[in-house]
Structure 1
Amino acid sequence: MSLFPRAWLILLLAPVIAGCVSTSRTTGHSMKAADFVRGDIRITDYRHGDDLLSAGLGLKGLSGPPAPFADPQHPTASELRRRAIQASWKGIADLGPLGGYGHVYGGVPDVPGREYQAFAWIPGARQPHRVLLQVPDHFDTQRRCLVVTASSGSRGIYGAIALAGAWGLPRGCAVAYTDKGTGAGYFDYTSDTGVALDGTRAQRASAPLEFEPPAQAGAQGVAIKHLHSGDNPEADWGRHVLQAARFGLAMLDKAFPGQAPFTAQNTTIIATGLSNGGGAVLQAAGLDDEHLLAGVVALEPNIYVQGQGRALYDYATQASILLPCALSGERFAKVPLARTPEGKVPAAWTARCASLHAQGKLVGGDAQAQAESAYHQLREAGWIDNAMAVSASVTAFDLWRAITAGYASSYARTDASNMPCGFHYAALGADGKPAAATDAVRAAWWADGSGIPPGNGIGLLGGTDASGDPALAGEQCLRALWEGHDEQARAVQASVAATAATLPRADLPLFVLHGADDGLLPTVFSSEPYIAWLREQGRHPLYWKVPHAQHFDAFLPLPGFGQSHLPLMPYGYWALDRLWAHLYEAAPWPTDLPTPQGRARGAGALDAAMLDLPR
């Protein structure tokens, strides 16, 4: 899940050169394995000042201000792609001046090549998901490698490029991506437009759209694919990954017809992803009856083991209610983002303590005692102190409510007009009130959107009352969908149950890495029960609970935040290197691997010794 403010991404960047585009129908021998594709496959060459990994921006450009549109009301497909790649990099990686990207670890070399992109359907789905294959010009046909990945959070098709693309493309691997039924293909009812295959806006029925909800008389606002498709895509994230792998093989047939067929028997397929994408590749591992996958590396996965872990919706709805009060306690006074710039407890957090106390849900005669009461309730529910402390960032940015309101709609399979608890999305004017989006704002959604508003000129509305704690009513309504027994609550609970992990095959090399300080997807609810379950079932996964790492590498440049933490990405790259050595160089796959004991970055720049990675 990768949602956070974009106020620090607001300047302009010089134009760069666009790529060349052609399209191909889904016909011919190589398409037989991709019969889940409907419509055109968009084939695009990226060379001569543009490339696959950074759209020609390089590391300096990726970390700079947003790539500009020559005409903001009508950006070209190439301009949209460039900015989508840039936004995906910034949403995942620490590109800050102290973070070490590009010299301590990682890199952004120029990688010319070709992209194949299409809309694909899971059987029975109402809406498509995007699939994309990037084939570098230096693809190694002698050591055939296909990396398959799924976007992090609810991001679009490039949402894992900083992990899978950055590791695989320079190595000569092709990289297959799926947006797993998420992404910023927002449908705007006011203009009756959605997003076409090339990322530009298009009218309903004028072209195949990434997301086209049924027409509704008088419908208003904005519909979001992940939340309003009616498909509960999270239950199929593993199938999306496996379908992307099949798409990748079929497109390699198309790219290299003289070398065809490309199959799992002659092409090594490595699955990797982080956050929701990490959960997706672990789901795929459990569904891989055809043995497509040769190995899996999952970072900070959103993974749910029914009966052993806690589902995200469960602990997130609890966190949205209790954490604002708990974090107002004195024990969290020095935690980054737990206090205002003036050193005060946010007024909304103090109001939350008072509201819950008035409802009889907290004990204590003053705000500090009430904060302790909320803290102990969270501890009893399994939360640990370091996860709570780091979750101050998630709480301060109001991400718990954004996530749970959206996911509730996905799980309940409601459309945009009937979201649970009175929530809805609408474009906002300059005054923050609902208004028709301008053409420029609407055109940029696909490139800039995180996949779940608010943000980019779209607001999350409703779910509030006129009390001194207006958000509490909606948050308690969302919690009731987890604890309740009415029809909508049962629908939500059934959809969450459908996301539970299944068991991977015994001989699959599998490596899970998770930050010990993750405050969004705490290890105690996700990775740890999953790893314990695998071991109970006779599997031998590798697991690193990485000290000082948390969920959002992209948060590390925030003032006061990065000093206490380390990035998780270099550990993911190292794990992929270790898997490569096993698959291509006959290095034995270990049954155990001690977790590196790095040290927090501190006030200075990151250096390699801080990571304590094995040599």
Structure 2
Amino acid sequence: MMAGLTAMMAIVSGCGGVGTPGDGMPDFVRGDLQRTYFDGKTNDLLTGGLGSAGLANATPPAFADPANPTAAELRTRAIHANYRALVDMTPGGGYGSLYGPAVGIGGAGLIAGHEYIALADGGRRHGIASWTQEWGGERVTLMVQVPDGFAMGQACIVTAPSSGSRGVYGAIATAGEWGLKRGCAVAYTDKGTGMGVHDLDRDTVNLITGERVSASAQPDRVNFRADLSEPERAAFAAAFPHRLAWKHAHSRDNPESHWGQDVLNSIELAFAVLNRYHAAPNGRKYTPENTVVIASSVSNGGGASLRAAEEDRGNLIDGVAVSEPNVQPRFDPSFAIRQGDGPPVRDHSRPLLDYITLVNLYEPCAALSIADAPLNTAASAGRCEALARAGLLKASTTVAQAVEARAAINAHGILPEQNFLQPAYNTFFVPQSIAVTYASAYARAGVEKNLCGYGFAYQENGVPAPLSEVDAANLFAVGNGIPPTGKVVLINNDAPGGPREDRSSTPDQNMAGALCLRALATGTDPVSGNPLTGEAAERRRRVEEGIAAVQATGNPRGKPVVIVQGRADGIIPPNHAARPYYALALKAGKRGGDVRYYEVTNATHLDAFNAFPGFDTRYVPLHAYYFQALDLMWDHLVNGAPLPPSQVVHTAPRGPGEGTGMGAPPIGPANLPPIRQDASADSLIKFDGATLSIPE
């Protein structure tokens, strides 16, 4: 197994909190701070000892004992899984030339340094007297990586909150790679999501380092445990056997409501670690005044860093550089968004649960409207028929119903540029899983609530079954925080004949569940249009409170901000996230800071899909522009360079190879024009206070 298993490890006790960055552990750190050194030869910070080639290998690193992997083995496999989930790992798509561990530093890309992991206590913010009495609340994993090359030049910290619902290594390939290569300390957090899984049959849970233990063991190191008493757990397991409680969905916490604070806490921990274990030779303390701090990351992590800037009353952050952020700006009716000569979009800034439940409802039918879409294996004529029977579609043929369903999605401010991707995302359960997870989180509903009839479990022949010890042990490493993942799927508890896997549970792919989720998002019955009543209305009230708690102001408190966004993003629509956030920041004036927005054509949300045939010819890696954004922010903060104006970057798809039959040719500079200081006038994004104008 990896020689890194012998890496030096020390356990350091936490101590009293401090008000300003110093060498004392902040008071939100619970239990011990785990400290591990990686020598950069046998194991390392960035690649888990695998190196660039090992990460590119699709076969995950093995466990010596598959049912009992060590923390070190789990870490290496988690890094492998998270890297491959976030970027296109094919050389033709840019891995090894535009990005990847070895790019810019040579060799295998191994980086030596220290790694520190701690569990944060949310009780301080909620007034919980004893943390061990509140199992369901904020259990947030924090991690700081300090490369051996730290502070060889300008001392710096880069934040890396995880993307999606991933665990603490969920931004290793993005902010982690850029920051470690720059010689910065990297401050990670799982944001209260991540891979905390409670097996309610066996009553086992994950530690923050991934190992499976009894749910009653080591409370200061348990990543998540369902907030159920022993009689409650036993009763639920008897009524709903083989179910699993999931940290993001079932913590009763609404983790997203404190993502900004989690990022700020990760920065505070980074300063404490640097000052305690990496003090400068002259004894100088690292402070916000002498350390460049960039809040960064992608997707949910990018949204978390924007929220951190808005909440940063202590001026910890110097600048923000994010990609495709899941940020939910408050709706401001005073402006519209217009792309090219298209109609103005006034109903922008819809909450995530609104647009994702709409896509979840209509996309299984709409997927039939794009005949050449790759990975389109879950299109459903049954969903089309059910939508028509409910009066939600008017057409009488399946083909016409699919076209009508697609039109309903685009009428919701979701760009046509995303249409080609949506069938593949539907195949991979993306809208379904997001809708279930976020509805549960916003409602602060525990696993026992079975919100809208959904549960999480392994399945055999469509029926819930025990998750094997081997698969349970692997979840921390390979899971993405939402099902289906690691052989865990969504279960329709209300299926005719008994619970079974959701999509296969009814001919219409459980449209009843999709309608229930849609009702929670809007407050009205999707079929009748009537307001919800009774218990459904109470659930909606809780969801509405949860959504209100996560909305962003658009005011980053004067900090410079760079946002890059793919126009073809099929998960976070530009009209409901990055575009209106940028307009709000401009409206904030000087309080908004020096804010820039770069929209990239032919770029999507999940670069990893670019490795598949059919996507490789159409899309370019947004990841390359994310790294440009970080470079621009660094040059702005350190060297005073002006940020280029907001603009649309018109890329060139790779297209099909000529006569090779092997798909797209390798990507090159012609495909990826840079963000330009001298951008042409017809590519500039403009805002006059009433209309945000996005060039075609």
Partner in structure 2 of residue 174 of structure 1:
185
| TM-score, structure 2 as length reference | 0.82
Change in Cα spacing, 1:426 to 1:163, as seen in structure 2 (3 Å) is same
Residue of structure 2 aligned with 1:315, choices 355, 377, 392: 355
Corresponding residue number in structure 1 for 2:555? 504
The CA distance in 2 between the partners of 1:187 and 1:481, in whole Å, is 26
**Could you report, residue by residue, the CA deviation over 1:224-280 in whole angstroms, capped at 9, with x for unpaired residues?**
111111110101111111111101111111222454532211211111111111111
**Alpha-carbon shift at residue 33 of structure 1 (Å):** 5.2
Matched to 2:367, the amino acid is L
Deviates more, 1:29-38 or 1:230-239: 29-38
Indicate the residue corresponding to 1:613 in structure 2. Answer: 674
Supply the distance in 2 between the matched residues of 1:241 and 1:424 (Cα, whole angstroms).
30
Q: Secondary structure at the match of 2:205?
A: strand
2:151 pairs, out of 140, 153, 175, with 140
Alignment match of 2:91 (pick from 86, 92, 97)? 97
In structure 2, which of residues 649, 666, 686 is the aligned counterpart of residue 596 of structure 1? 649
2:11 to 9, 19, 23: 23
Q: Is contact 2:418–2:568 with CA below 8 Å preserved after alignment?
A: yes
**The residue matched to 2:294 in structure 1 has which SS?**
strand
Q: Is residue 184–residue 445 contact of structure 1 (8 Å, CA) maintained in 2?
A: yes
Identify which range, 602-611 or 168-177, moves more after superposition.
Answer: 602-611
Q: How does 1:3-18 map to 2 (within 5 A)?
A: 15-18=2-5
Match of 1:360 among 391, 395, 403: 391
For the 8 Å contact 2:329–2:580, the answer to whether it is kept is yes
Aligned counterpart in structure 2 of residue 450 of structure 1, from 461, 480, 495: 480
2:48, 2:79 within 8 Å by CA — same for their partners in 1?
yes
Pairing 1:255–2:282 present: no
Aligned with 2:261 (options 227, 239, 242): 239
> C-alpha separation between the residues in 2 aligned to 1:315 and 1:295?
30
Structure 2 vs 1, CA of residues 378 and 505 (structure 1 numbering), >3 Å: closer, same or farther? Answer: closer
| 2:489 match | 459
1:533 maps onto 2:584 in alignment = yes
CA deviation after TM superposition for structure 1 residue 57, in Å? 0.7
**1:483 and 2:522 equivalent?**
yes
Which residue of structure 2 aligns with residue 3 of structure 1?
Answer: none
Q: d(CA) in 1 for partners of 2:278 and 2:317?
A: 21
Tell me the CA shift for residue 106 of structure 1. Answer: 4.2
| Cα drift, residue 614 of structure 1 | 4.7
Give, as a single letter, the amino acid of the residue that structure 2 aligns with 1:412.
Answer: A
Matched, 1:213 2:266: no
Q: Which amino acid aligns with 1:263?
A: T
Note the C-alpha offset of 1:464: 5.5
Distance 2:202 2:62 in 1: 24
Structure 2: runs of 5+ lacking an equivalent? 103-108, 129-136, 238-242, 333-348, 497-505, 524-531, 656-663, 677-696
Please name the residue that 1:343 is paired with: none
* Equivalence map 1:168-567=2 (5 Å): 168-207=179-218, 208=220, 209-214=222-227, 215-217=229-231, 218=234, 219-220=236-237, 221-257=243-279, 259=283, 261-308=285-332, 309-329=349-369, 332-338=370-376, 340=377, 348-429=379-460, 431-462=461-492, 465-466=495-496, 467-484=506-523, 485=532, 486-505=537-556, 507-538=558-589, 539=592, 540-567=594-621
Counterpart amino acid of residue 224 in structure 2: F
Question: Which letter does structure 1 place at the counterpart of 2:51?
Answer: G
The residue aligned with 2:45 is: 52
**Contact preservation (8 Å) 2:561, 2:596:** yes
Contact 1:287 1:504 in 2 (8 A): no
Aligned to 2:114: 114
CA distance in 2, matches of 1:351, 1:571: 40
More displaced stretch, 98-107 vs 85-94: 98-107
The Cα shift of 1:169 comes to 0.5
Quickly say closer, same or farther: Cα 1:40–1:96, change in 2 above 3 A: same
2:47 counterpart SS class = coil
Give the distance between the partners of 2:284 and 2:214, measured in 1 at CA: 38
TM-score, normalised by the number of residues in structure 1: 0.92
Q: Check 1:588–1:54 CA distance in 2 against 1; reply closer, same or farther (3 A cut).
A: same
* Structure-2 separation of matches of 1:118 and 1:201: 17
Partners of 2:463 and 2:666 in 1: CA distance? 42
Letter in 2 for 1:537: A
Summarize deviations over 1:438-458 as a string: whole Å, max 9, x none: 221111111111011222122
User: 1-side partners of 2:45 and 2:416: how far apart?
Assistant: 41
Letter in 2 for 1:448: V
**How many Å apart are 1:535 and its aligned residue?**
1.5
Mapped pair 1:73 → 2:49: no
Q: Which residue of 1 aligns with 2:27?
A: 35
What CA distance in whole angstroms lies between the structure 2 residues aligned with 1:575 and 1:560? 28
Secondary structure (helix, strand or coil) at the match of 1:119 reads strand
**Aligned-partner SS, 1:427:** strand
Distance 1:322 1:311 in 2: 17
Asked if 1:157 corresponds to 2:168, the answer is: yes
Q: Would the alpha carbon gap of residues 374 and 437 (structure 1) be closer, same or farther in structure 2, given more than 3 Å must change? A: closer
* Equivalent position SS for 1:23: strand
Change (3 A) 1:399 1:239: same
Larger displacement relative to structure 2 (507-516 or 476-485): 476-485
Q: CA deviation at 1:377?
A: 2.1
Residue by residue over 1:152-172, the C-alpha shift from the partner in whole angstroms, topping out at 9 and shown as x without a partner, is 000000101111111011111
**Shift of residue 375, structure 1, vs aligned partner:** 2.5
Distance in 2 of aligned mates of 1:614 and 1:531: 17
Looking at structure 1, the residues matched to 567 and 212 of structure 2 have their Cα atoms a distance apart, in angstroms, of 41
Counterpart CA distance in 1 for 2:493 and 2:215 is: 30
Query: CA 1:505/1:416 → structure 2, altered by over 3 Å: closer, same or farther?
Result: closer
Aligned to 1:9: none
How far apart are the structure 1 equivalents of 2:560 and 2:210? 36
Greater displacement, 70-79 / 98-107:
98-107
Aligned sequence identity (%): 37
The answer to which of 553-562 and 252-261 deviates more is 252-261
Code of the residue aligned with 1:232 in structure 2: it is N
Look up the SS of the partner of 2:95 in the other structure.
Answer: coil
More divergent stretch after superposition (76-85 vs 213-222): 213-222
Q: For 1:313 and 1:505, locate their aligned partners in 2 and report how far apart those are by CA, in whole Å.
A: 24
Tell me the distance in 1 between the aligned counterparts of 2:230 and 2:642.
Answer: 58
Q: CA deviation at 1:610?
A: 0.9
Higher relative contact order (CA closer than 8 Å, sequence separation 6+): 1
CA contact (8 A) 1:104 1:608 kept: no
Contact 2:196–2:225 (CA under 8 A) maintained in structure 1? no
SS of the counterpart of 1:414?
coil
Q: Helix, strand or coil: the match of 2:424? A: helix
| Secondary structure of the corresponding residue to residue 540 of structure 2 | helix
Counterpart of 1:611, as a letter, is L
Q: Structure 1 residues 91, 16: closer, same or farther in 2, change over 3 A? A: farther
Work out whether residues 14 and 25 of structure 2, in 8 Å CA contact, stay in contact via their aligned partners in 1: no
| Distance of 1:426 and 1:365 partners within structure 2 | 37
| C-alpha displacement of 1:471 | 1.5
Q: Output the CA distance in 2 between the equivalents of 1:91 and 1:435.
A: 27
Q: CA 1:166–1:327 in structure 2 vs 1: closer, same or farther (change >3 Å)?
A: same
Question: What RMSD, in angstroms, separates the aligned Cα atoms of the two structures?
Answer: 1.9
Matches of 2:48 and 2:160, distance apart in 1: 19
Residues of 2 paired with 1:352 and 1:197: CA distance? 40
Q: Residue 614 and residue 275 in structure 1: after superposition, are their counterparts in 2 closer, same or farther (change >3 A)?
A: closer
Secondary structure, aligned partner of 1:417: helix
Q: CA–CA distance in 2 between the matches of 1:105 and 1:468? A: 44
